[in-house]
A and B are shown apart, each in its own frame.
Chain A
Amino acid sequence: MFSLSRKNVITLVIFSAIVLTMPIWLKPLGAAYPGLMQKFVIYAIFAIGFNILFGLTGYLSFGHAAFLGVGSYTAVWSFKLLTMDMIPALIFAVIFAGIFALFIGYFSLRRSGIYFSILTLAFAQMSYSLAYSVLTPITFGETGLLIARDDPRAIDAMLGVNQSASGMPVPSLLGFELGGYSGFYICAVVLIVAFFLSQMIFASPFGMALRGIKSNQTRMMYTGFNTKPYMLTAFVISGMFAGLAGGLLAVTDPIAGAERMKWTESGNLVLMTMLGGVGTLVGPVVGAWLIKYLENIFSAINTNMLNNFFDFLPDGVQTVMVTVMSKFVGEGWHLTLGLMFVLIVVFLPGGLVEGTERLVRRFRRIAGPSDEPTGKMASGRAGND
């Protein structure tokens, strides 16, 4: 079970080190605060889970945000009804998201290609519309599901756990209150475990079977191989990762809103995975970080900050620079995002991770012949389409 190639172990160790040292290396990038680091880590889990489906089987789901939403709603309800402890919340989030994925996957996987994509999209959009309107008694619609001080919390009440005297109750882990950095480190550990699991899946016979389905499903079936249970398992695992990510969103910030299930969120996830590199192990993580970074840091830069930044320039040049740059940051951060998509696809085919590798390989070939066939990072890559 726990068999990994040496290369994978090295990748895992490096990956863990990078994740756990985030507060250090994100500092100069202006992103070393718990709120964003938690999002980095959680969306990385989300993207890793999505990659297990999309990267291994080539089935492009456009409805994964629904599982994220289900995970969040389940976790917040667990906070409201049972206990502020995160463990039951996460367990229920994963289970409910898994059941939901089983249902949607069972129907959607009857079709392939774009028909599959549209089926998942339709299920997710239905969930979103209903959560926003008709299901408001459960989801609290527009204003979102929030915890309140007078929620029942049956287990906490039974165990006589003291509700915090001041402020709102805070999610905890075995009595240890989570928030800020502790929340980040808990999520980081979960991410490392998730990454490890995804390595295991990529290297396992199960992963091989999925790749076989991706390269030629018909041939797999002719060999007497029943592909359906494999696909469904991959879909449910992927949905459970999304549920886990949704649960963690609620743990670090106890609110669940319907917007988390909208198609734009699913679309974001697809873009994250593609940007980093479909089918590579670290690609989706890199993609998730990049998009979240742009969304949170670039959007917060205003002309004031630009003026300070370009202060060293002569007045006229400063004004020009600030005017030009202000089109790309603040309210214009979407422009940067769009240009980045285009440039990366054009110049780094296969996404950031694979594209960079190709560049490195080409560079090496120019610098001197080498026998190294593949880069270290792309160990799990299975080829795309």
Chain B
Amino acid sequence: MDAILAQLLNGLDKGGAYALIALGLTLVFGTLGVVNFAHGALFMLGCFCAVVLRQLLTIETVTVDPTQLSPWGAAVEVRTPLVQAWLGDWGAFLVDYSVPISVLFAVPVMLVIGIALERGLIKHFYKRSHAEQILVTFGVAIVLQEIVKSFFGANPMPQPIPTDLRGAADVGAWLGMEANQLTYPMWRLVYLLFSLGVIGAVFAFMRFTTFGMVVRAGMTDRETVGVLGIDIDRRFTIIFGLAAVVAGVAGAMYTPLLAPNYHIGMDFLVLSFVVVVVGGMGSLPGAVVAGFLLGILQSYASMNEVKEILPGIDQIIIYLVAIVILLVRPRGLMGRSGIMEG
């Protein structure tokens, strides 16, 4: 029983991450009609927002002590952290909470990056073929990766969890089980809540604001909206920025779970496409449902009891589920007809 519950938590946690990554991708797909292979790179940039913020907060003054030599012959450096020196306890708190704070940092940064990318490049490709969209966005993704690599190297850069949120919470005890029956890392619970919050915010934005209404109208029938005299292009710029922000904050909060390196976006790229397509093209709820469904099924498929019956099932479960769903439901879970089918 506790094993089933624990895997459910794992599944929800994974699902939250998958849904969050897929959300921005499906927004860009559905509204702009652009196959964005740079979406993984945007996620990666979000991760590095956290890295950069931490590096800024832990900036140190370095004084060289020429009297002491390290074993490889260089002078020993004496380092004093600046932020703590200036701000005392408050500075230490900032450093400790650098990852959650980096979300606030990532929002404007990613918004600017997203808008710049759309204005500078993507907007010229709305009318071009999907093949050319893939080529140009893939090119952009590689360039972004290489830029990050030249600054931060290729090794993963681990980001610590704030001290208060480290360790595992006794979830079982909350549900009335014995102590230590079911424990779960605190940060994963935080991430789950965070992803639900962001998903809710995006849905509320699309549902209850005029902006969202116009964009949804544009998703359904772009021409008519244009005929009505609404400047849909300007809104599309903001949508691309929004997609970049969602990908970015998803990345920034994910850094303690997965140490980011410049390549992390490519590892998520295929997965996010699978989630979006299984959810159905042009459907925001579809992407979210698909994310959670795939996450939960992946967790259950990895249980030892399941693996004993079907060896290797955990290796292929995501793809297997994708195939079955796409064969049973022609447009994924909630896809609308006519989008990216031609």
B131 adjacent to A133 (CB under 8 Å): no
Name the segment of A17-25, A305-313, A330-338 touching the other chain. Answer: A330-338
Q: Is residue B298 contacting chain A, with contact meaning CB distance below 8 A? A: no
Q: Is residue B134 contacting chain A, with contact meaning CB distance below 8 A? A: yes
In the complex, what's the smallest C-beta–C-beta distance from A385 to chain B, in angstroms?
A: 4
Q: Is residue A114 contacting chain B, with contact meaning CB distance below 8 A? A: yes
Q: Is residue B128 contacting chain A, with contact meaning CB distance below 8 A? A: yes
Chain B residues whose CB sits within 8 angstroms of the CB of A327 once the complex forms:
150
B315 adjacent to A334 (CB under 8 Å): no
A115 adjacent to B332 (CB under 8 Å): yes
* The residue from A110, A113, A335 contacting B142, defined by CB atoms under 8 A apart: A335
In the complex, what's the smallest C-beta–C-beta distance from A313 to chain B, in angstroms?
A: 23
CA distance A57 to B291 in the complex (A): 31
Name the segment of A28-36, A124-132, A199-207 touching the other chain. Answer: A124-132
- Report the nearest A residue to B150, measured CB to CB: A327
| With known contacts A113-B340, A126-B316, A385-B130, A118–B139 Cβ distance under 8 A | no
* The residue from B135, B146, B316 contacting A332, defined by CB atoms under 8 A apart: B146
Chain A residues whose CB sits within 8 angstroms of the CB of B132 once the complex forms:
274, 345, 349-350
Q: Is the interface of A mostly helix, strand, loop or mixed?
A: helix
Q: Is residue B141 contacting chain A, with contact meaning CB distance below 8 A? A: yes
A114 adjacent to B281 (CB under 8 Å): yes
In the complex, what's the smallest C-beta–C-beta distance from A344 to chain B, in angstroms?
A: 8
Q: Is residue B234 contacting chain A, with contact meaning CB distance below 8 A? A: no
- Report the nearest B residue to A267, measured CB to CB: B138
B141 adjacent to A114 (CB under 8 Å): no
Q: Is residue B273 contacting chain A, with contact meaning CB distance below 8 A? A: yes
| With known contacts A274-B132, A340-B139, A114–B340 Cβ distance under 8 A | yes
A341 adjacent to B136 (CB under 8 Å): yes
In the complex, how many residue pairs between chain A and chain B have their CB atoms under 8 Å apart?
A: 137
Chain B residues whose CB sits within 8 angstroms of the CB of A122 once the complex forms:
274, 318-320, 322-323, 326
- Report the nearest B residue to A112, measured CB to CB: B341
Q: Is residue B14 contacting chain A, with contact meaning CB distance below 8 A? A: no
In the complex, what's the smallest C-beta–C-beta distance from A291 to chain B, in angstroms?
A: 12
Residues facing A in B138-156 (CB within 8 A) are: 138-143, 145-147, 150
Q: Is residue A111 contacting chain B, with contact meaning CB distance below 8 A? A: yes
- Report the nearest A residue to B271, measured CB to CB: A125
The 8 A CB mask of B265-277 against A (1 = contact, 0 = none) is 0100010011001
* The residue from B134, B147, B315, B332 contacting A129, defined by CB atoms under 8 A apart: B315
- Residue with the highest number of chain B CB atoms closer than 10 Å, among A123, A129, A338: A338
- Report the nearest A residue to B341, measured CB to CB: A113
Chain B residues whose CB sits within 8 angstroms of the CB of A264 once the complex forms:
266
Q: Is residue A121 contacting chain B, with contact meaning CB distance below 8 A? A: yes
Q: Is residue A154 contacting chain B, with contact meaning CB distance below 8 A? A: no
* Chain A: interface size category: 35 or more
Q: Is residue A339 contacting chain B, with contact meaning CB distance below 8 A? A: yes
- Report the nearest B residue to A107, measured CB to CB: B327
B131 adjacent to A118 (CB under 8 Å): no
B342 adjacent to A113 (CB under 8 Å): yes
- Report the nearest A residue to B319, measured CB to CB: A122
CA distance A251 to B327 in the complex (A): 37
* The residue from B35, B124, B319, B341 contacting A126, defined by CB atoms under 8 A apart: B319
CA distance A342 to B137 in the complex (A): 8
* The residue from A58, A126, A274, A341 contacting B320, defined by CB atoms under 8 A apart: A126
In the complex, what's the smallest C-beta–C-beta distance from A112 to chain B, in angstroms?
A: 5
Q: Is residue B330 contacting chain A, with contact meaning CB distance below 8 A? A: yes
The 8 A CB mask of B110-145 against A (1 = contact, 0 = none) is 000000000001001100111110111011111101
In the complex, what's the smallest C-beta–C-beta distance from B186 to chain A, in angstroms?
A: 32
Chain B residues whose CB sits within 8 angstroms of the CB of A274 once the complex forms:
131-132, 134-135
Q: Is residue B331 contacting chain A, with contact meaning CB distance below 8 A? A: yes
* The residue from A60, A334, A345, A350 contacting B136, defined by CB atoms under 8 A apart: A345
* The residue from A113, A118, A344, A384 contacting B273, defined by CB atoms under 8 A apart: A118
Chain B residues whose CB sits within 8 angstroms of the CB of A133 once the complex forms:
312, 315
Chain B residues whose CB sits within 8 angstroms of the CB of A125 once the complex forms:
270, 316, 319
Q: Is residue B311 contacting chain A, with contact meaning CB distance below 8 A? A: yes
CA distance A115 to B277 in the complex (A): 7
- Report the nearest A residue to B313, measured CB to CB: A134
Q: Is residue A275 contacting chain B, with contact meaning CB distance below 8 A? A: yes
A341 adjacent to B274 (CB under 8 Å): no
In the complex, what's the smallest C-beta–C-beta distance from B28 to chain A, in angstroms?
A: 13
| With known contacts A112-B341, A125-B270, A346-B124, A118–B326 Cβ distance under 8 A | yes
A121 adjacent to B340 (CB under 8 Å): no
In the complex, what's the smallest C-beta–C-beta distance from A258 to chain B, in angstroms?
A: 12
The 8 A CB mask of B148-188 against A (1 = contact, 0 = none) is 00100000000000000000000000000000000000000
Chain A residues whose CB sits within 8 angstroms of the CB of B315 once the complex forms:
126, 129-130, 133-134
Q: List 20 A-B contacts (CB under 8 A).
A: A60-B131, A110-B327, A114-B340, A115-B277, A119-B323, A121-B274, A122-B326, A123-B319, A126-B316, A129-B312, A129-B316, A271-B134, A335-B146, A335-B147, A337-B142, A338-B140, A339-B143, A342-B121, A344-B135, A385-B129
Nearest 7 CB-CB pairs, A to B? Answer: A341-B139, A338-B142, A134-B312, A122-B319, A113-B341, A342-B139, A335-B146
Residues on B facing A (Cβ under 8 Å): 35, 121, 124-125, 128-132, 134-136, 138-143, 145-147, 150, 266, 270, 273-274, 277-278, 281, 311-312, 315-316, 318-320, 322-323, 326-327, 330-332, 340-342
Given contacts A122-B322, A342-B136, 4 further A-B contacts (CB under 8 A): A113-B341, A122-B274, A264-B266, A271-B134
